[in-house]
Amino acid sequence: MDEGSPAPGTKCVFCDIVARRAPAWIVYEDSTTVAFLDIFPFTRGHLLVIPKRHGARLTDIPFEDQMALVRTLDEVCRRAERLAPDYNVALNAGAWAGQIVFHVHFHVIPRYGESNPFRAGHRPPLSEPEARAVVAELANP
Ligand code: 5GP
Ligand code: ZN
């Protein structure tokens, strides 16, 4: 398997977003990383921060990519603070940890006082008006 690519014959939706084969509400992009809105946000402005090069989990990607990812995480957290001063950062590694998309990503989840944003209850899909409003707040440096 090529380093930085999903296994042959395996579809990776986040690689598709990086390659613009799939749509996403992107709020940040540089040469090695991308941040975009989660399509099933736990809260308004729920973001995902990913490396462009594929790897299932943090320990699968080169150290330089890990560093670039954390640099972008810092930038995205600063922008998320425009929405709410409090937020969660989460990384699920492996199916038993709740990982569904096997392309490493940090979640940045603004908190507005909900009791438990991680509960598996009501999680409506991202609406276009909300996506436009959040991107307008976060996409500029
Ligand atoms: P995990 O459980 O793997 O840590 O989280 C994967 C996240 O990716 C979930 O919160 C899910 O809503 C989100 N997600 C899954 N498919 C897509 C997609 O095609 N586009 C976007 N923007 N988010 C996705
Ligand atoms: Zn991928």
The SS3 of residue 4 is coil
The atom of ligand 1 lying closest to the CA of 123 is: 12
What is the CA(37)–ligand 1 centre distance, in A? 9
pTM comes to 0.92
Q: Is 135 in the pocket of ligand 1 (CB under 6 A)?
A: no
pLDDT in tens, 18-67: 999 999 999 999 999 999 999 999 999 999 999 999 999 999 999 999 99
DSSP secondary structure, 76-122, as one string: HHHHHTTT-SEEEEE---SGGGT--S-S--EEEEEESS-S-TTSSS-
CATH code of the domain made up of 13-112+123-138? 3.30.428.10
> Of the residues 12, 15, 40, which should be mutated to test ligand 1's pocket, given the most ligand atoms within 8 Å of the CB?
40
What is the CA(58)–ligand 1 centre distance, in A? 16
Is 103 noted as a catalytic residue in this protein?
Answer: no
Q: Which residue has the tokens 């979640």?
A: 107
pLDDT at 2 over 60: no
The atom of ligand 1 lying closest to the CA of 24 is: 22
Q: What is the pLDDT of residue 101?
A: 98
Determine the angle formed by the axes of helices 63-80 and 128-138, rounding to 10 degrees.
100
Q: Is 100 in the pocket of ligand 1 (CB under 6 A)?
A: yes
What is the CA(105)–ligand 1 centre distance, in A? 9
Phi, psi dihedral angles at 88 (to 5 degrees)? -105, 145
